[in-house]
Homo-oligomer: A and B are copies of this chain.
């Protein structure tokens, strides 16, 4: 992973930023993110898929391999689930030095209502071998990463694959998946960062040795140096974000608000436990007060909403919000640096000029 201490974003980063995109933070107002506002990271290219030729294979260390059409999947009992997904690299471009990759600020998030077949149903049908260790998920997208030509593949330990309410989803927000979100099928792993929610899912492969593919063994590891093995990126750390108040300056995205009472609003989530507390600071993080938290969805890994009254006085202000989940994990005030720029859940800072 290349690093930069130059504040200027490189041309390589710009090529990624021009095609991928975050969720504009005013879209935090919608409990379910409208399609097209949900964050999007495309590792390689969006494939063009012929739905009549498409097959999902369940294979490897199983008693009864499956080859399923989309019709086969839609004929099985369906489950719906609201899940918040965040890119593991969210916040990367706020790190110093900056890991050179997709240069996310804080917007790489979104929440959708997914519908599909529980992964556990398919694994049960196929019959896992007693020696099964990992389940590997392969997408149709191909590219080169770390100088290795590959298709996109991620894995889950068998216990997570069976127990974590994973969904093989064919619908997002009541319609077929859009091409960029994995049409015709994607894996949804509630609580995990986006990289495990494999798009264009075409193969589920059960293996009896730990999976060591690029996206598990090389990419998506929290470590300080290339030499260090580090630990894998898995579930989302707690985070809270606010709708920036007032109106923006076009060129800088700085905010301008009028003096008086403002109802700040936002959403918070964690992939490890329900949100226990959301706090807001109107003095740049020196002091915090509790926000009112409202849980809108029963699904354990859907975000919750929050509001906070702010009496805005003229001058320059820095607003912050931070979440704590029920394990006690709390967002740090400053980023925790790592080589890949993953899991940067430092508190959001919104600069506002009040006139």
| CA gap between A42 and B148 in the complex, in Å | 37
With an 8 A cutoff between CB atoms, is A287 at the interface? no
Among B23, B48, B180, B250, point to the contact of A143 (Cβ < 8 A): B250
| CA gap between A295 and B298 in the complex, in Å | 50
| CA gap between A221 and B135 in the complex, in Å | 56
Chain B residues with Cβ below 8 Å from A26 are 45-46, 48
Chain B residues with Cβ below 8 Å from A328 are none
| CA gap between A35 and B35 in the complex, in Å | 7
With an 8 A cutoff between CB atoms, is A315 at the interface? no
With an 8 A cutoff between CB atoms, is A77 at the interface? no
Chain A, range 22-54, C-beta contacts under 8 Å to B: 22-27, 29-30, 34-38, 40, 42-46, 48
Are A46's CB and B37's CB within 8 A? yes
Chain B residues with Cβ below 8 Å from A42 are 24
The contact string, 1 if C-beta is below 8 Å from chain B, for chain A 283-301, is 0000000000000000000
Chain A, range 115-173, C-beta contacts under 8 Å to B: 142-145, 149
Are B105's CB and A15's CB within 8 A? yes
With an 8 A cutoff between CB atoms, is A259 at the interface? no
With an 8 A cutoff between CB atoms, is A240 at the interface? no
Are A45's CB and B145's CB within 8 A? no
| CA gap between A100 and B9 in the complex, in Å | 13
Are A247's CB and B149's CB within 8 A? yes
Among B22, B48, B145, point to the contact of A250 (Cβ < 8 A): B145
A151 CB, min distance to chain B CBs, angstroms: 10
A49 CB, min distance to chain B CBs, angstroms: 11
Chain B residues with Cβ below 8 Å from A12 are 251-253
| CA gap between A145 and B228 in the complex, in Å | 47
Are B13's CB and A9's CB within 8 A? yes
With an 8 A cutoff between CB atoms, is A16 at the interface? yes
With an 8 A cutoff between CB atoms, is A7 at the interface? yes
Known pairs A9-B14, A11-B7, A180-B24; A247 contacts B142 (CB<8 A): yes
Chain B residues with Cβ below 8 Å from A253 are 12, 15-16, 19
With an 8 A cutoff between CB atoms, is A82 at the interface? no
Known pairs A16-B253, A178-B36, A178-B37; A44 contacts B9 (CB<8 A): no
Q: Which of A30, A107, A144, A251 has most chain B Cβ within 10 Å? A: A251
Among B14, B179, B248, point to the contact of A34 (Cβ < 8 A): B179
Among B17, B144, B247, point to the contact of A256 (Cβ < 8 A): B144
Chain B residues with Cβ below 8 Å from A256 are 144, 149
Are B34's CB and A178's CB within 8 A? yes
Known pairs A19-B24, A253-B15; A45 contacts B248 (CB<8 A): yes
Known pairs A24-B42, A250-B143; A17 contacts B15 (CB<8 A): no
Residue of chain B at shortest CB distance from A93: B14
Can you list 28 pairs linking A and B with CB atoms under 8 Å apart? Answer: A8-B10, A9-B14, A12-B251, A12-B253, A16-B253, A18-B93, A18-B103, A19-B21, A19-B253, A21-B21, A24-B180, A27-B179, A29-B48, A30-B48, A34-B179, A36-B178, A36-B181, A37-B178, A37-B180, A44-B248, A45-B248, A100-B251, A143-B248, A144-B248, A144-B249, A144-B250, A144-B256, A145-B250
Additional 11 contacts, C-beta under 8 A, given A18-B104, A18-B105: A8-B8, A12-B253, A19-B21, A19-B24, A20-B21, A21-B40, A26-B45, A26-B48, A27-B180, A142-B247, A143-B249
